[in-house]
Structure 1
Amino acid sequence: MVFEPPQRLVRALGETAPDGDGWLETLPQAVRQAVALRELTVDRVQAPGGRTSLVVLVRRADGSPAVLKLAPPRFRPEAERAALTHWDGLGAVQLLEGPTTPGALLLERLHPDVSVRSLPEAKALLEAAGTLRRLWVEPPVGHPFESVAERTGRQAEAMRASASTEPDVAALVDAALAAREGLLAAPPEHLLLHGTFRQSKVLAGERMPWLAVGPDPVAGERAFDLARLVRDRVEDLIASPSGAASTRRRVKRLAESLELDQERVRGWTLFRAVESGVRALRVGRRKDAELLLEFAGWL
């Protein structure tokens, strides 16, 4: 099999590992090995694809469609495998049985070009929230998932370092870090979370109308999982004269629909928006950073 990885993936990997880690160089061989081991036939590479993994549309030996997903170790593919195994298809894409190789997952094929994002906004939020609710379960005993405190702790250190070189964002960083400290002081629960949930992570399926894909699982409180969903379609929010009011209404509506504390949803949304904005600044995506930080200022 001869292929070029999608440029979106190449650019994103360059941002997260500017000096490279050798994964892209070994990717063609890893794909060939994974395909041969599982006796797969390749249909095509999904493009533009994701920012953290290569997605290949394949067929199994019996002709049934599937997806082969390969990701570098720094994006925790084995944690994703563990989460999908635990969910066992309830609200999430099904992990298919077969040979196991590090960093490679064989998944049920959904409709990769049809996400909840294709629906009108109100309907999209409703369907996405309903899908997310099914994923919030007790993690398995001895689970491998990092906690919200651990993940955001690393992010907080990077935010502090960036704030020292970007004084314009210092006030927002301080507010985000203060929100995190308050939220971690008394977490209300410790559940398995998707970790990177948004509308584009919910795809149409045959087995169920909508199923979640692409988790970066973490264990913690549910409000953390809503934070990325609150800022979906951020470009539309920023362009709207009522964007700030719409954002606050969205926080309220999502919190109420899932019976969560509105202030905890707001706090995690603030932290995660500022973290994403500061990270975008750090890698030179200034336009993205400006959108995210303006959004964060509304919270």
Structure 2
Amino acid sequence: MAFEPSQRLVKALGEAYGETVAADWLGGLPSLTQEALERRELACERIMAPGGRSSVVVLVRRPDGTQAALKLVPAEARPDRERAALAHWNGWGAVRLADDLAEPGALLLERLHCEVSLRSLPEPKALLEAAGTVRKLWVEPAEGHPFETVARRTERQSAPMCEAPAELMPLVDAALAARAELVASSPELLLLHGNFRQGKVLGGDRAPWLAVGPDPLVGERAYDLARLVRDRIDDQIATAAGAPATRRRVNRLADSLDVDRERLHGWTLFRAVESGTRALAAGRRQDGEMLLEFASWL
């Protein structure tokens, strides 16, 4: 099965896992896809384009004629953890697994309206729907779960931040200090989406909106909510009232989901600085500068 991966997928995989790993996975993707289709007796309709930044999604039909989506993911992205999280949620607030075949690198999911995400809604409505969706995902993890903790993930992310240019170190130091204080007093250990934002919530049939693409871990709700705070960051940067508007957004989201304002503020700072310094290191200068400007408002 031959197809051309999007350039954003090629770049994102190279940045995340290295160019060699990315090239090897992409090179074997046609055969991996064909094998997954044949094993499940699926008929391919089309490949989603441009698709995700770390996966390929193929829209398919099952032998009984029902629609589904086949998601192909590199092993480095830990699809086993995504499967475990989706199985635990069992369709509550998130896309549902369409089979229980634990095939490495392939997930068969219920078909959602792939072209319709919360980003298609006006901002106030999108935030309201996002809050209602993410609330459902915050549940106790299963005993013996495979997920890493917020403390462990952010510890790994902290070391590269220290290699940022000298002029950024005051902001980096503030983010690292906030993280140290937060992990020292984490109030809860819940299953989190890990990468929750408006673009990760798609329209569905059995529910209006369902989350997709988790990068699951366990920890506090404020960490999960922090990524949502900076959604549509380009719009926020463009407004004259960016800084006060951002702080109001933190408070509004925290209050709507009964999350401590200061903890959400701290995790929003850390995640923005971490993402910003990582973008700069990868050569995505515009993204990095925008994220760091956002972080400076907090």
Distance 1:33 1:99 in 2: 13
Aligned to 1:92: 94
> Which of 100, 103, 113 is the matching residue for 1:101?
103
The one-letter code sitting in structure 2 at the alignment partner of 1:10 is: V
| 1:153 and 2:155 are equivalent in the alignment | yes
| 1:61 and 2:63 are equivalent in the alignment | yes
**Structure 1 gaps, min length 5:** none
The answer to whether the 8 Å contact 2:194/2:217 transfers is yes
TM superposition outliers: structure 1 runs of 4+ over 6 Å: none
Q: Secondary structure at the match of 2:196?
A: coil
| 1:20 and 2:20 are equivalent in the alignment | yes
**Structure 2 gaps, min length 5:** none
The one-letter code sitting in structure 2 at the alignment partner of 1:208 is: A
CA RMSD after TM alignment: 0.9
| 1:264 and 2:263 are equivalent in the alignment | yes
Tell me the TM-score normalized by structure 1. 0.97
Aligned to 1:7: 7
Report the alpha carbon displacement of residue 214 of structure 1 after superposing the two structures with TM: 0.2
Distance 1:133 1:12 in 2: 29
Q: Secondary structure at the match of 2:19?
A: coil
Distance 2:161 2:227 in 1: 18
Aligned to 1:274: 273
Report the alpha carbon displacement of residue 98 of structure 1 after superposing the two structures with TM: 4.8
The answer to whether the 8 Å contact 2:13/2:19 transfers is no
Q: How does 1:152-231 map to 2 (within 5 A)?
A: 152-160=154-162, 162-163=163-164, 166-231=165-230
Distance 1:264 1:49 in 2: 33
- Name the stretch that deviates more: 224-233 or 46-55: 46-55
Aligned to 1:232: 231
The answer to whether the 8 Å contact 1:34/1:104 transfers is yes
Distance 2:276 2:147 in 1: 25
Q: Between Structure 1 and Structure 2, how many residues are aligned?
A: 296
The answer to whether the 8 Å contact 1:195/1:216 transfers is yes
Identity %: 65
The answer to whether the 8 Å contact 1:42/1:58 transfers is yes
Q: Secondary structure at the match of 2:151?
A: helix
Report the alpha carbon displacement of residue 200 of structure 1 after superposing the two structures with TM: 0.3
The answer to whether the 8 Å contact 1:273/1:292 transfers is yes
User: Any idea what the Cα deviations from partners look like across 1:219-244, whole Å, max 9, x if unmatched?
Assistant: 00000000110000000000000111
The one-letter code sitting in structure 1 at the alignment partner of 2:66 is: S
User: Any idea what the Cα deviations from partners look like across 1:252-287, whole Å, max 9, x if unmatched?
Assistant: 000000001000000000000000000000100000
The one-letter code sitting in structure 2 at the alignment partner of 1:9 is: L
Report the alpha carbon displacement of residue 2 of structure 1 after superposing the two structures with TM: 1.9
Tell me the TM-score normalized by structure 2. 0.98
The one-letter code sitting in structure 2 at the alignment partner of 1:225 is: D
Q: How does 1:109-148 map to 2 (within 5 A)?
A: 109-148=111-150
User: Any idea what the Cα deviations from partners look like across 1:197-235, whole Å, max 9, x if unmatched?
Assistant: 000000000010000000000000000000110000000
Aligned to 1:249: 248
Report the alpha carbon displacement of residue 99 of structure 1 after superposing the two structures with TM: 3.2
The one-letter code sitting in structure 2 at the alignment partner of 1:46 is: M
The answer to whether the 8 Å contact 2:17/2:76 transfers is no
Distance 1:118 1:54 in 2: 22
The answer to whether the 8 Å contact 1:37/1:99 transfers is no
Distance 1:9 1:29 in 2: 18
| 1:47 and 2:49 are equivalent in the alignment | yes
The one-letter code sitting in structure 1 at the alignment partner of 2:61 is: R
The answer to whether the 8 Å contact 2:88/2:142 transfers is yes
The one-letter code sitting in structure 2 at the alignment partner of 1:294 is: E
Q: Secondary structure at the match of 1:49?
A: coil
Report the alpha carbon displacement of residue 94 of structure 1 after superposing the two structures with TM: 0.3
Distance 1:112 1:265 in 2: 30
Distance 1:215 1:19 in 2: 23
